[in-house]
């Protein structure tokens, strides 16, 4: 009888082992060896339940999972097995499994153990689907107790540091994990079906560019040079457009060496996709289609509730111009914000922009917009036609040389997506980078870096292209209705203990 797996070591008769405070004496009656999981244990609990609903004649099952509850009645034992998909009750009767096995289960099996059972499905008097067990197997012994069965694991720090316990004991953590996984696969499916090619570009980059952020620096011993963890894949994805792949996307991590809070983690997941021969207006429509697809597949509705506010994602979304928003708030025209730097600085000081005296023009404008407008963009709303000084990689607006063809999608005051018609003029791109270098000299640490190789690529000709980035973590937060990014990242950044 192969019941208990303690370790790979064989136990001598009479030897005493301490399991979770329980002293186990090996009497020689049990063969204590690690049991192999059988293939039939790979079905999910949810799968078993749905097959039974479909075909009640299906009743002989074999299922494995973590034992999460136990109720011993003397000569019968009830318990629940759990996997990521659900729970199923098991019923072990002395009459059925025999005295020895019943005794073994009663003394050796604990809540937390991973076990396999075989038996018949039936419904109890209360109607709960249950496995009447005729054989069982220890698959992995748990030496430590599970968190409290009723309250689960509440300690936020422990939930993050030992996420596996959170996943075992908190339904919501499992739901978010599944939601995130389905979101990623639906994004891939949507893009794949529309001819986009999934690619992988370098995470270790000699120049960290493509966004305004401080990078993590590392050193390559063999190349004898510094490398940066990417802050964005943008400039590499555009090289692929130059190379002739007209629809590409990358779904992966970016890294930014900055503060950690409820909406920022040093590594976070971005979707970036590029399509040749499109412009930013095509992307507005495409973004609405993408979100419609995701909401239909994941939530089955266009109305979502986020932190007590109902958001309506029925397209078309509101579209509003960047400077119209500022005018609404201040009564001032675009020229004021772009030409009257002293006036803008005065305004910034008035509304309480910190360090307004020392910020560069671009930073000032950005801060003022943030403070006055951003929080009120409940959305979903496309803010379009950004100032050029904030957008070094976007193409100049066809109707206004002060602006670029760019939008950001705001939902619940958060930026969810950022897109533009891409700047594909190598000469103008060089000048824009040079402007960024000036910003850097004026104290903007996050100003973008010049990438000569990228300009060389543009010099070979990049077709007119539109590109977009979507913050996946924030999107999951929205869909899961949680207010901290750490709830949607399985292992968020924490200080080492």
Partner RNA sequence: GAGCCGGUAGCUCAGUCCGGUAGAGCAACGGACUUUUAAUCCGUGGGUCGCGGGUUCAAAUCCCGCCCGGCUCACCA
Phi and psi, residue 157, nearest 5°: -65, -45
Closest approach, Cβ 276 to RNA, in A, equals 24
Minimum Å distance from CB 144 to RNA? 7
Q: Please report, for residues 116, 331, 337, 340, 383, the alpha-carbon distance to residue 325 in angstroms, rounded to integers and kept in the order given.
A: 61, 10, 12, 18, 9
C-alpha span between 5 and 10 (Å, rounded): 10
Q: Does 310 bind RNA (CB under 7 A)?
A: no
**Closer to RNA by Cβ: residue 196 or 234:** 234
The contact pattern for RNA, residues 472-491, with x = CB under 7 A and - = no contact, is -----------xx-x-----
Q: How far is the CB of 382 from RNA (least distance, A)?
A: 15
Number of residues lying near RNA (CB under 7 A): 71
**Contacts (CB under 7 A) with RNA, residues 278-297:** none
Residues 6+ apart with CB under 8 A from 97: 105, 133, 134, 135, 136
| Residue 333 in the binding site for RNA (CB under 7 A) | no
Closest contact distance (angstroms) between CB of 442 and RNA is 13
Binding to RNA (CB under 7 A) within 27-66 occurs at none
Q: Taking the complex as a whole, how short is the minimal distance between the CB of residue 61 and RNA, in angstroms? A: 16
CB atoms within 10 A of CB 396: 18
Q: How far apart are the first and last CA of the chain?
A: 44
Contact call for residues 60 and 162 (beta carbons, < 8 A): no
Beta-strand ranges (E) seen in 141-276 are: 197-198, 204-205, 217-220, 225-229, 247-255, 267-276
Contacts of 90 (CB under 8 A, 6+ apart): 78, 79, 80, 81, 117, 119, 130, 131, 133
Binding segment (CB under 7 A) for RNA, from list 54-62, 208-216, 339-347, 422-430: 208-216
Binding residue for RNA, selected from 51, 390, 455, 490, defined by CB under 7 A: 390
Candidate residues 8, 57, 125, 310; the one interacting with RNA per rule CB under 7 A: 125
Sheet holding 217-220, edge to edge: 204-205, 225-229, 217-220
Q: Restricting to residues 217-236, which ones interact with RNA according to CB under 7 A?
A: none
Under the criterion CB under 7 A, does residue 338 sit at the interface with RNA? Answer: no
155 binds RNA (CB under 7 A): yes
The answer to the question of residue 110 lying near RNA (CB under 7 A) is: yes
309 contributes a contact to RNA by CB under 7 A: no
Nearer to RNA, 75 or 220 (CB): 75
Find out whether 414 and 263 touch, Cβ atoms under 8 Å. Answer: yes
Among 76, 143, 207, 450, indicate the residue that binds RNA (CB under 7 A): 76
Spell out the residues 6+ positions from residue 297 whose beta carbon is closer than 8 angstroms to its own: 182, 186
Nearest CA to 143 out of 106, 107, 112, 105 is that of 112
Residue in 282, 415, 425, 435 binding RNA, rule: CB under 7 A? 415
For 241, the enclosing helix (H) or strand (E) is: helix 234-242
Which one of 209, 212, 424, 465 is in contact with RNA (CB under 7 A)? 212
Q: Is 337 exposed, middle or buried (0-12, 13-18, 19+ CB in 10 A)?
A: buried
Q: Which stretch binds RNA (CB under 7 A): 55-63, 124-132, 181-189, 201-209?
A: 124-132
Residue 75 interacts with RNA (CB under 7 A)?
yes
Find the shortest distance in angstroms from Cβ 121 to RNA: 12
Residue 39 or 445: which CB sits closer to RNA? Answer: 445
Quick note: the x/- pattern for RNA over 349-388, rule CB under 7 A, is ----xxx-------x--xx--x------------------
Question: Who's near 406: CB < 8 A, 6+ residues apart?
Answer: 280, 384, 385, 386, 391, 394, 418, 419, 420, 421
CB of 322 to RNA, least distance (A): 11
262 binds RNA (CB under 7 A): yes
């Amino acid at each position: 009888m192969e019941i208990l797996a303690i370790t790979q070591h064989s136990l001598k008769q009479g030897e005493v082992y301490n399991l979770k405070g329980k002293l186990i004496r090996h009497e020689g009656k049990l063969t204590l060896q690690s049991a192999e999981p059988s293939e039939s244990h790979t079905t999910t609990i949810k799968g078993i339940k749905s097959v039974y609903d479909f075909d009640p004649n299906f009743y002989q099952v074999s299922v494995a999972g973590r034992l999460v509850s136990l109720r011993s009645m003397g000569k019968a034992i009830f318990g629940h097995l759990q996997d990521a998909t659900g729970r199923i009750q098991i019923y072990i009767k002395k009459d059925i499994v025999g005295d020895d096995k019943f005794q073994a289960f009663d003394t050796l099996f604990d809540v937390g153990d991973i076990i396999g059972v075989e038996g018949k499905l039936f419904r109890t008097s209360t109607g709960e689907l249950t496995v009447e067990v005729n054989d069982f197997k220890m698959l992995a012994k748990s030496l430590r107790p599970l968190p409290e069965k009723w309250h689960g694991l509440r300690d936020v720090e422990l939930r993050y540091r030992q996420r596996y316990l959170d996943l075992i004991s908190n339904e919501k953590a499992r739901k978010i994990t599944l939601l995130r996984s389905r979101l990623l696969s639906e994004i891939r499916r949507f893009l794949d079906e529309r001819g986009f090619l999934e690619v992988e570009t370098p995470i270790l980059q000699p120049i960290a560019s493509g966004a305004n952020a401080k990078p993590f620096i590392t050193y390559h011993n063999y190349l004898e040079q510094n490398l940066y963890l990417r802050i964005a894949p943008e400039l590499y994805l555009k090289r692929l457009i130059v190379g002739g792949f007209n629809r590409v996307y990358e779904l992966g991590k970016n890294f930014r060496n900055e503060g950690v809070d409820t909406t920022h983690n040093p590594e976070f997941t971005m979707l970036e996709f590029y399509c040749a021969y499109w412009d930013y207006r095509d992307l507005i429509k495409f973004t609405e289609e993408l979100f419609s697809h995701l909401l239909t597949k994941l939530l089955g509705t266009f109305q979502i509730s986020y932190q007590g506010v109902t958001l309506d994602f029925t397209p078309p979304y509101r579209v509003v111009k960047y400077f119209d928003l500022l005018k609404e708030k201040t009564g001032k025209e675009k020229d004021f914000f772009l030409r009257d730097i002293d006036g803008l600085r005065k305004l910034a000081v008035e509304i309480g922009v910190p360090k307004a005296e020392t910020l560069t023009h671009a930073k000032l404008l950005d801060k003022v917009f943030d403070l006055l407008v951003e929080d009120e963009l409940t959305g979903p709303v496309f803010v379009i036609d950004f100032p050029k000084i904030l957008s070094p990689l976007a193409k100049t607006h066809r109707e206004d040389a002060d602006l670029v063809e760019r939008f950001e999608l705001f939902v619940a005051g958060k930026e969810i997506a950022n897109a533009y018609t891409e700047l594909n003029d190598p000469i103008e791109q060089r000048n824009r980078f040079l402007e960024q270098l000036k910003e850097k000299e004026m104290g903007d640490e996050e100003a973008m870096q010049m990438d000569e190789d990228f300009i060389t690529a543009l010099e070979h000709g990049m077709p007119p292209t539109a590109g977009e980035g979507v913050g996946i973590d924030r999107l999951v937060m929205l869909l899961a209705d949680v207010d901290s990014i750490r709830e949607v990242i399985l292992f968020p950044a924490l200080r080492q203990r």
